[in-house]
Each structure stands twice: as C-alpha cells, then as structure tokens.
Structure 1
Amino acid sequence: MRPSTLLRLAVAGTATDTVRVVLTAVSAALATLAGLAALTVLAIPTPPAVEEGDVRWSEQYASQLLVEPGLRGGTAFASLLLIIPVLALAGQCARLGAPARDRRLAALRLAGATPGQVIRLAAGETGLAALLGTAAGTAIYFGVREVFDTPDERGRLVLPTDVLPASGAFAAVLFGLPVVAALATALILRGVTVSPLGVVRGRQRERGPRPWAGVLIGLGLAAFAAIGPVNRWYATRDTRPPEWLTPALLMAGGLAALVGVVLGTGWISYVTGRLLRRWARRPAVLLAAARLTADPWAGSRTFAALLAAVLFGAGAAGLRSYFEAAAELERRGGGGLAGNGGFYLSTMDLVDLAVAVAMVVASGGLVVALVEGITARRRAYAALVATGVPRATVGRSIAWQALAPAVPAVALALTVGMLLARGLFGTPSSGGYRSEVCDAGEQLCTDPATREQYTRVEVEPLISVTPDVPLGHLAWLGTGAVAAVLVTVAVGLLFLRAGTAVEELRAT
C-alpha cells in the first residue's frame, strides 16, 4: 500500500470518524500547550552571580514563580502533570466510533488489505490527527507569546516570552506526541484480529483481576518516603546527592502510584460486581453487577483521567497542609518559611486551579467514554428493552455501573495522594540539636587543658508542628469527582433512548 493511499484511507470515514479525529487533535493541542509551557519555564536562564552570596533572580518577570529559580521546577512539573488527564482524554476520544471503524477495517481486509496494513492505517489515522493537533497547539503557543510580549508599567513580563525551548525539545513535543499516539494505537490493536468477516478481540481473561496494583502503590509511596532519608544520608557525609536522583524518585514514585490506582480500579470493579451480584436484589443493580464482572477493566479505562486529577489534587491538599504547619512553626519562633508563608499558600491557589482544569478535562473524557459505551452496546440494551425491561431500569444500571467502582476508586486516589504528600514532606520541625558554648576568653577556650572546665552544652528544644489532615479540602475534592461522574452519567443517559430503539436490533 502506497503512502498516498494510506493517507487517503486514513482521513476517510463517517461523521463519527471526523468527530474522533477532531477530538484527538484538540487533545493533542492541549498536551502540546502544556508541554511547551513547561519547557519554556525550564528554559529561563538563571543570571550569574556578580559577587558571592548575590541573589540570582530573574527580575524581568512579574510572577514570583518565574523569578525564583527554585520555584521554576515545581511550576514546570505542575504543567507537565496537566498532560496526564489530557492524554487520557485523547485515549478516550480514540475509542469513539470504534465499532464502525472496526467494520471499515474489516471491509478493507475483504478488499485485499493485509493485517499489517490495516493496523498501519488505524495508527496513521491517530498519528495524523495528533500531528494536526500539535501543529495547532504550536500556532496557539506563538500567538499567546505575541499577545503577552508587552511589558507592564514596571517593565516586567507576565509570561516568559523572551525565551524559547531548545530546538530539540521543541521538535520532540511537535513530532513526539504524534509518534507516541500512533505507536499506542498499534500496540492496542496488537491483540485484535481484523479478518475479512469482522473484528475479533483478544481472548478474554477467565479469572478476575488480582490486587497486584497495591504493590505499585506501595512502591510509589516508598519512593516518595525515601527522598528525605536519602538526602540526609548524603548530608551526613558532607556530599550532595546526584542531581537526577530526587527527580527520578519523584517521577518514578508518582507514576507507579498513579498506575497502581488506575489498575486497582479494575480490581475494585471486579470485587464490587461480585458483591453486588451476591447481595443485590433489584434488576438494575444485578445488570450492573454482571457488567462489572464481565469487563472490570472498563473502570480503569474510563476513570483514568479523573483519578489522575484527584490524586494530584489530594497531593496538593497535603502540600498546602504542610505549608500551613510550617507557617505555624514560624509563628512559634522556629525555622519555618522565612516569611514567605503567605506567598507559598497563595501559590497553592494556582495549583488548585490547575486541578480544577484537569477535572474538567477528565469530565470530558468521561462523557466520551460513557456515550461510546452506550453506543457500542446499543443492541444489547435494545434487546433488553424489547424483552420487557423498562428503559428506566437500564438507565439505573448504567448509573450503578459508573458509580459503584467510582466512589471507592476516588477514595483510594485521595488516600494515596495524601500519603504521597505526607511521605515527601513529613512534619516541619526546628531545633533538637546540641551546641557547646565556652564562657571564657579566647585563650582559655582554645587551650585544650582549660577549655573543658569553661564549656557548657546548650540544648535547642525541638519544636514541631504536625500538619493537619485537610478533611474539608479532601471532601470537596472527592465530592467534585463524584459529582462529575453523576453529571456525565446524566449526559450519557440522554443518548439512551436513541440507543435502545427497537430498530437497533437490526444494526450490524
């Protein structure tokens, strides 16, 4: 198959295929903006020190997050975390209209295409949509730079429009995201057999998921908790840890915990389905239980973006609690935030805003996944309605199927996020050390024979403030996540009447 033919077939399709391509492109554009924003912040140069002890701040910016070099890494990390729900949204959008696409691929196989060609076709469609999205995101990035490139009345810039990421990093974002999207599509289709007579999925698991995801969560918590002891171990030997060690532990631990929570949702769905099937008596609950046990990994696919946002938000709530405890320690006379407690707490408001944006993006992914699920199973739902099951019962079963695993999964994400923050930052404290003071003159204090009789030991009392568990913040975050699930269920049920029409029994 020639590249021109592959390109023409990749852009062909129905209106649903067009919507899928557009949504995938929008997701890629959002991911591009987040990635370029993080790279731009990291590209800000730190001014050289003229004299020893000079403050090396970039005074040309209005935001303190850009001025202080020590805060830029956290700002870039927060921007990169926004990519996680966006990529999860892209994964949900890629599944939109999957049955129709599968039939189109089967028709191509019937026309003589090889299995490798149809996989390259599907990967090319996703990669092309992502490439269009990254190009659009890059154009928006430069447009924003032009708009905010004017200094304020004090000559300071609102955004770092005076720097650009390195060309290699720029190209990695522009072309790397489409390549990753295409490879992910090819990997997903590896377990799918596209024959001339239809599409056959890989063999289903005969037994339910095992709780091995807890191992990943434990490894993530251990990685975060090990950062403090490792740094202290290097400090006792008057050496500094490698620059890559702390970021590596943060990235590996955070990724392991996130993957563990997402995969753990599959086990939660399976166990919840078994419990509901055993103890429930109402038809709607029994239908939901059967679906949860038949496809427990649907929850992991559906709630991945939302759980990532909740995990990040719980960690941010734990960090805010640490800053409040450090500010209280400073008020008690201990070493706290050096007078910057208000600044750090106000910075957390920006983090909470990022969490809110991530949850909105994740809600969009939930809507896409729920509507796609109703559309893909429309024949089964239509058969239930045709045999006498009320449409309201089918709707309640869909709500149970969404909420039953979502509530414990959100609680798990909140707990893990809070434990990550507590393991990383611990309890702020000051004092707790001993010092020797000589009350005599320099001659007597430097003489080993007389120094001991004039020396006394002073003990600095240990002052520590244990951070509170932000139950209110966590409750609002969990309530918002569950409310997002409820809203998306309500939106998805709008498509239920059309999906359960009797005519759908004749759909192929």
Structure 2
Amino acid sequence: MRPAVLLRLALAGNRTDSARVVLTALSAALATLAGLAALTVLAIPTPRCCDGRNISEQYGNALLREPGLRGGTAIALLLLTVPVLALAGQCARLGAPARDRRLAALRLAGATPGQVTRLAVLETGLASLLGTLLGLAVFLVGRRLLDAPDARGRLALPTDVLPATGVIVAVVLGLPLAAALVGAVLLRRVTATPFGVVRKVRRERAPGPWAGLLIVAGLAAFAALDPVLDWYQDQHREPPLLLPPLLLLGGGLAALTGVVVGTGWLSYTSGRLLHRYARRPAALLASRRLTSDPWAGSRTFAALLAAVIVGGGAAGMRASFEAHAELERLTGQDRGGSDGFYLRTVDLVDLAVGVAMAIAAGGLIVALVEGIVARRRAYAALVATGVPRGTLARSIAWQALAPAVPAVGLALTVGLLLSRGVAGHAVTGGGYSTEFCDGAASLCADPATRAQYLRTGWVPEVTVTPGVPLGQLALVGGGALVAVLVTVAVGLLFLRASTALEELRTA
C-alpha cells in the first residue's frame, strides 16, 4: 500500500472518527503545553553574582526566582501531562466499533493484517502530531502575548526564555511517536479479519493481589532515601548524583503502577462480593460485568488514581510543613515565614491536582460513553426482555462506584505513605539557651536601646509529630468520587438512545 493511499485512508471516516481525531489532537496539545511550560521553567538561567546571590530577580514570582524551587514547579506542571495522556488514550477508543467495521471492510477488500495495523497506528500518530503542532503554536503565541512586565519591570511568567530547539523538537515529535508506538503495542494481540476485529488472547485467570508487591516496593524506595543518604554521610562519602531521583522516580512509578493494576483485583473482588451478597437486579448485573472484565477499572481510573496519589502526597507534605511551623512557634524562632511560603507552594500542587482531576473526569466520560455505546445491543436486548432502563442505569453506577471507592482509598493511603517516607518524621527543636528581647519591635531593632531589654532564657526541647491530614485527604478523596458520580450522570444521558429497540437490528 502506497504512503499516499495509507494517509488518505487514515484520514477517512465518519463524524465519530472526526471527533476521535479532534479529541486526540486536543489532548496532545494540552500535554505539549504542560511539557513545554515545565521545560521553560527548567531553562531559566541562574545568575552568579559577586555577593553570592543566585536569584533570578527579573521574575515577580518566588517559584521562578528561587533556583531550588523550580524543580518542584516543573514537577507540578509535568503532573498535568499524566491525566492528559490518559485522556488521549480514552479518546483513541471513541467510536471503536465503527472503526472495527471499517477495518474489517478494508480486510474484505484485500488489505493485509499488517496494513490495517499500520493504518490504525498512523491515524493515532497523525492526530497526535496535529495536536502537538497546535500546542506549540499556542505556546509561542501565548509567550508573546503574556510578555508584559509589571511596574517594577518584573515578569509574571518566564516569557524571556525558551527551551533548547532540540528539546522542543523532541517534545513535538516525541509525543506522536510515543502515541503511535503505544498504539502498535496495544494492537499486538488484535487481528482485523474480514468479519470483524478479534483478539488473539483473552485473560482467563482472575487478577491476583500481586500488585501489592509493587506498592510495597515503591513505599520501601521512598522510606530508604533518608537511611541511604545518612549511610553515605556516615561514611564521609558523596552519594551518586542520580541515586535520590532514581529512588523517588522508581518508587513513585512502582507505587502508581501497583495502585492502577491493583484496581483490577479490587474490581474482581467487588464483583464477587456483590454477586454473593447483593439481592437487587442492578447490583447483580454489575457484579457479572465486574468479574467478566475486571481490568476495565484499571484502564478507566488510571489518570484519576494518579491525581489522587499526588493529592495524598501533597496532603502529607502540608502536614510536615505545618509541623515545622508549629515547632518554630513553640521555640520562638522566626525564619521569615519560610514555612508559609512552602505551604503556598503546596497550594500550587493542590491546584495542579484539581486540574488533573478535571481532565481525568473528561477521560472517564469518554470511557463510560464508549462502554455504553459498545454494549448497546446487549442493553437493548435486556430492555426488550423487560429490564427497566432505571435498573440498567443503577447497574452502570454500581460498576463505576464499586471499584472506585476502595481504589480511591488505596490511592490516598499510598500517597500519604509516600510523603511520610521522605518528610513524615517527627521534628525536634529547642534544648538550648538564647537571648530574648522583651521590648517593642522598634526598641529591639535599635542598637542603642536593645541591650536594656535583652534577657537570656532557656528554650525547652520540643518534638512535634506531623498529624494525619484527615480534612485534606477527605477533600481529595471526596473530589475524586464526585468526579466519578458526575461522569456517571453524564454517561447515563446516552443510555436511552443506546437502548432503543432499533439497536437490535444494527449490523
């Protein structure tokens, strides 16, 4: 098949195919914007002044001025790409039954299985490339429009720097290439025949709880960070430069993978419990669906669970900063409100988590609607046999909430434990004598009057243990479950059209 013909067939299709391409391109554009923004923050040069100051004074935001805080800001921006990429994966499944019939028609016309696979991969890659080019254009135009210094000549955003050209090209071309490779991997067990699309292998065994080993490994990597660094310090040696980021990145990915994969086991277990103890038709229908396809929860909730893990970790970090602030208050120290600044930094992470949940909710809507449309003939057959549509609606709600509730609880717990591994230790201060000034601030600041108000006192030793941020955890978990409920409500709007009796005659 010539490249021109392959390109023309990849761009062909009905309105559903066009919607799939547009949504995939939009997701790729959002991921490109988040990635380029993070790389721009990392590209800010750090000046070296004669007085030892290395602060970029041209920015009005301390997150951009302080070199030590730019890494956290970039990570917060990169977190937004996780749900966006998951949304792109959900959008790629939109209209899958119609696309499967189109691929079957091409096989009937003489196309080989390899050609059909390349066609499906090229469609995803082209849509992603269109999105990355759009994201790059929006980034460059927005950079010009937002380049407005304030009255003091300071910039609100780093519009005066750009990532290296090679880095930009790598992002713009790397995302479509990665999307195409992922599509090829997902299609490795799928064969397009003239009679439809079938899978070569099906999962016969029930999922096991082995994903818990990944969670334990991730938690162990975070907990081992401080002991490993202390060991190097005791040995008077410098640890390898890549050791801390490898422990954190590897542990985080292992814990995230464990939670997402473990959702399959939670779905299967929830289905078995519903089948054993439920008495209502809706719950029984949901139990069969959960046990027959337990991995649907892992695919559907992956982006949402990633955001929940980050939200739980941010709640743990907030509790640690609050413990430091309490220790300063009890010991009478004043560090210029540094902990308040770090708390405001955690607010930025919380904002990123909220945006990530909103994006993940979009992916949930796409997945839920696609599932309803894909099973429309089965639902129509149930309606034709007398099952009320309300019962089907409640069964769909059971399918979403039964695995979501324990999965969100698990993700919150894992996120909190990850943060405790690096910043959850009790902090101790005091146990020394110091000078106190009992006069007014103006008198204490004046060297001529300060001496007569000074006294020496003993600061008792105080230990403050970070508490469990139940309120923050409840806010993150409640927000995730509300997002699931909203997506279920939106998806049920398509239920009546998908359960029309005419669907029984759909070819």
TM-score range for the pair, normalised by the shorter chain length: over 0.9
Give the Cα separation in 2 of the matches to 1:240 and 1:49. Answer: 27
CA shift digits 1:436-464 (9 cap, x unpaired) = xxxxxxxxxxxxxxxxxxxxxxx997543
Correspondence for 2:4: 4
Q: Which amino acid aligns with 1:348?
A: V
Give the Cα separation in 1 of the matches to 2:489 and 2:287. Answer: 20
* SS of equivalent to 1:194: strand
| More displaced stretch, 163-172 vs 377-386 | 163-172
Correspondence for 2:441: none
Give the Cα separation in 1 of the matches to 2:48 and 2:265. Answer: 53
Correspondence for 1:125: 123
- Give 1:431 shift: 5.1
Which residue of the other structure, out of 321, 324, 328, is the alignment partner of 1:323?
321
Q: Which amino acid aligns with 2:42?
A: L
Percent identity over the alignment is 70
Correspondence for 2:109: 111
Q: Which amino acid aligns with 2:140?
A: F
Correspondence for 1:13: 13
Correspondence for 1:88: 86
Give the Cα separation in 1 of the matches to 2:463 and 2:503. Answer: 66
CA shift digits 1:171-224 (9 cap, x unpaired) = 111000000001111110111111112111232222210111101111111111
* SS of equivalent to 1:406: helix
Give the Cα separation in 2 of the matches to 1:463 and 1:259. Answer: 39
Correspondence for 2:227: 229
Give the Cα separation in 2 of the matches to 1:318 and 1:363. Answer: 24
Give the Cα separation in 1 of the matches to 2:430 and 2:152. Answer: 45
8 Å CA contact 1:215–1:260 kept in 2: the answer is yes
* SS of equivalent to 1:146: helix
Correspondence for 1:282: 280
TM superposition outliers: structure 1 runs of 4+ over 3 Å: 334-339, 430-434, 459-463
Give the Cα separation in 2 of the matches to 1:134 and 1:408. Answer: 36
Correspondence for 1:161: 159
| More displaced stretch, 333-342 vs 380-389 | 333-342
Give the Cα separation in 2 of the matches to 1:286 and 1:194. Answer: 33
Give the Cα separation in 1 of the matches to 2:248 and 2:347. Answer: 22
CA shift digits 1:34-68 (9 cap, x unpaired) = 100111111111112424xx121111111100101
Correspondence for 1:37: 37
Give the Cα separation in 2 of the matches to 1:117 and 1:355. Answer: 41
Give the Cα separation in 1 of the matches to 2:219 and 2:476. Answer: 21
- Give 1:151 shift: 1.1
* SS of equivalent to 2:301: helix
Q: Which amino acid aligns with 2:389?
A: R
Correspondence for 1:452: none
TM-score, normalised with respect to structure 1: 0.92
Question: Number of residue pairs matched?
Answer: 483
Aligned pairs (5 A) from 1:364-443: 364-430=362-428
- Give 1:433 shift: 9.7
**Judging changes above 3 Å, is the alpha-carbon distance between structure 1 residues 288 and 193 closer, same or farther for their aligned structure 2 residues?**
same
- Give 1:334 shift: 7.9
**Judging changes above 3 Å, is the alpha-carbon distance between structure 1 residues 136 and 228 closer, same or farther for their aligned structure 2 residues?**
same
Which residue of the other structure, out of 165, 170, 173, is the alignment partner of 1:172?
170
Aligned pairs (5 A) from 1:183-202: 183-202=181-200
8 Å CA contact 2:323–2:427 kept in 1: the answer is no
Q: Which amino acid aligns with 2:251?
A: G
Correspondence for 1:140: 138
CA shift digits 1:317-375 (9 cap, x unpaired) = 11111110111111122889664111111222221111110110011001000000000
CA shift digits 1:219-256 (9 cap, x unpaired) = 11111111111222222233332222111111111111
Give the Cα separation in 2 of the matches to 1:338 and 1:422. Answer: 25
CA shift digits 1:418-437 (9 cap, x unpaired) = 11111111225245999xxx
- Give 1:95 shift: 0.6
Correspondence for 2:489: 490
- 1:102 and 2:100 equivalent? yes
- Give 1:143 shift: 1.4
* SS of equivalent to 1:106: helix
- 1:471 and 2:470 equivalent? yes
- Give 1:262 shift: 0.6
Correspondence for 1:26: 26
8 Å CA contact 2:365–2:488 kept in 1: the answer is yes
Q: Which amino acid aligns with 1:13?
A: G
- Give 1:307 shift: 0.7
Structure 1: runs of 5+ lacking an equivalent: 435-458
Give the Cα separation in 1 of the matches to 2:313 and 2:141. Answer: 33
- 1:271 and 2:269 equivalent? yes
RMSD of Structure 2 on Structure 1 (CA): 1.8
**Judging changes above 3 Å, is the alpha-carbon distance between structure 1 residues 336 and 2 closer, same or farther for their aligned structure 2 residues?**
farther
TM-score, normalised with respect to structure 2: 0.92
* SS of equivalent to 1:332: helix
- Give 1:170 shift: 1.1
Give the Cα separation in 2 of the matches to 1:407 and 1:467. Answer: 26
Give the Cα separation in 1 of the matches to 2:144 and 2:315. Answer: 35
Correspondence for 2:436: none
Aligned pairs (5 A) from 1:292-311: 292-311=290-309
8 Å CA contact 2:256–2:306 kept in 1: the answer is yes
8 Å CA contact 2:405–2:481 kept in 1: the answer is yes
Give the Cα separation in 1 of the matches to 2:237 and 2:61. Answer: 33
* SS of equivalent to 1:193: strand
CA shift digits 1:109-163 (9 cap, x unpaired) = 1111111111111010000000000001001111111112121111111111111
Structure 2: runs of 5+ lacking an equivalent: 433-457
Q: Which amino acid aligns with 2:274?
A: L
* SS of equivalent to 1:190: coil
Give the Cα separation in 2 of the matches to 1:336 and 1:360. Answer: 38
- Give 1:93 shift: 0.5
* SS of equivalent to 2:197: strand
**Judging changes above 3 Å, is the alpha-carbon distance between structure 1 residues 358 and 501 closer, same or farther for their aligned structure 2 residues?**
same
8 Å CA contact 2:331–2:429 kept in 1: the answer is no
